[in-house]
Structure 1
Amino acid sequence: MSPRPSAREQMLDAFEHLVTTSGERTATFDAVAAEAGVSKGGLLYHFPSREALVDGLVERLEALIDADVTAMTNAADGAVDYFIRTSSPDAVADDDPFDRCITAVTNLASSGRWPRAVEALSAMQRRWYDVVLDEVGDPVVARLVCLVADGLWFTPGPFDQATVDPAAARAPIGDVIGLLQGLARRSV
C-alpha cells in the first residue's frame, strides 16, 4: 500500500484537478480547500497566495520531468523510441500523474497570467529536445521527433486505430519510430 499523501500534496492535487477539469478561474481558495477536504486557513498556511499554488504545481512538474528525462535517457530501446511511445495517447494511463500535471500547467500557461508556467513548459520541451539531440545528433531530426511527439500527445485517441474512415488506418507507431530512427542514422 502506498503512503498517504501529505496535506500539502492533497491541496496541490485538488488545485491540479480543478485547473484541469474546470479551469483556472474555478480553482479559488475556497474551492481548492473544499476539494482537498481542508479548511481555507489550512490551505493558506501551506499556500499563502495564488502564486504559491502555481509555484507548487510547477515544482511538481519539474520533479516529474526529472524522472521522465532519466527514464528517457536510460530507455533500453533508446530515447526516440521511449519519447514517441510515451507521447502516444494509448500509452498514457487514465489519470496519469505526469499527464495530469502537464495539462494543468498548460491550462495555467494559456491564461497568460502565469509566466512561470510558460517557462516550465518551455524548459520541459528543451530537456526532451536535448535528450533526443544527444541520441540522433542532428538538430533537424531532433526537432522533427519532438514535433511528432507533440502531435501524438495532442491526438485524441489511440494512434494505431483508424480515424473516422476505417479504410484510412494510421501507420503503426513502430513504423513511425523506425522512420524517425532511420532519418537519424542518415544524418550522422
Structure 2
Amino acid sequence: MPRPPKAREALLAAYRDLLVSEGERAATMDAVAARAGVSKGGLLYHFKSKDALAEALLAALRDAAELDRERMAADPEGPARYFVRTSVNSGTDMDALFVAAVRLAQTGHAGALAVLEEIDAAWLELIRREVPNPAIATAVMLMGEGLYHYSSLAGSWPEKTFGTSVGELLAVVDRLSGRTGKGPGTA
C-alpha cells in the first residue's frame, strides 16, 4: 500500500492535535488547514468533510491499537501486566489518537464511541485469556484505565497523587491473577 501524501498526514495530525488541545468545536476545516499549512482546497482534496477527517483519525487509531494488541499478546509478562504497565499516557502517537477519539466521543460521535468500545473489548479479551475470572480481568482493565485517565490529566500522575508506583500496581495484578514465584511476569 502506498504511503499517504505528506499533506494528508499533516492534515490528519493537525486535526488530531486540535481535538486534543482545543476540542471538537475548535477543529474546524479552516483551523485544520491553517494548522497544517495547507490550503483549504488541499484539505478538501484529501478530506471532503469533517466526517472524513474523523473517519481517517479513527482508522489510524484502529491501526495503532491493533499493533498495541499484537505487542500485548506477545509480551513475555502477559497481557494483564502489559496493559497496566503501558497504561500511562507517555505522549505517543497512539496516546494522541486515543485522546482525540475520546474528545470526539464526548460530543456523542457514534463512530468514535464504537471504535473506543471495540478497542476496550479487544484489550479486555486478551486480559481474559490470561485471567479467566471475569471480575478480576475487569479489575485489571479498570486499573489500567484509571492510570491512563490520571496520567492524561495536567498535573501530577497517580504515583504522586496516590503514593503508589506502577511496580506496586503490577504486584497487585500478580496477586489478583494468582501469579506466584519469581521470574518473568512477577514483580
Q: TM-score, normalised by structure 2?
A: 0.86
Q: Which residue of 2 aligns with 1:31?
A: 31
Q: Which residue of 2 aligns with 1:139?
A: 134
Matched residue type, 1:173:
V
Q: Which residue of 1 aligns with 2:158?
A: 159
The answer to whether the 8 A contact 1:15-1:53 is kept is yes
Matched residue type, 1:139:
P
The answer to whether the 8 A contact 1:72-1:79 is kept is yes
1:178 to 164, 168, 171: 171
Matched residue type, 2:35:
E
Give every structure 1 segment of 4 or more consecutive aligned residues whose post-TM-superposition deviation is greater than 4 Å: none
Q: Which residue of 2 aligns with 1:96?
A: 92
Matched residue type, 1:98:
M
Quote the offset at 1:179 in angstroms: 1.8
- Give the secondary structure class of the aligned counterpart of 2:10: helix
- Equivalenced residues, count: 173
The 5 Å alignment of 1:32-71 reads 32-71=32-71
Q: TM-score, normalised by structure 1?
A: 0.86
> In structure 2, what is the Cα distance between the partners aligned to 1:39 and 1:125?
37
Quote the offset at 1:158 in angstroms: 3.7
> In structure 1, what is the Cα distance between the partners aligned to 2:13 and 2:70?
24
> In structure 2, what is the Cα distance between the partners aligned to 1:72 and 1:15?
28
Gaps (5+ residues) in structure 2?
180-187
RMSD: 1.9
- Give the secondary structure class of the aligned counterpart of 2:86: helix
- Give the secondary structure class of the aligned counterpart of 2:57: helix
Gaps (5+ residues) in structure 1?
164-168
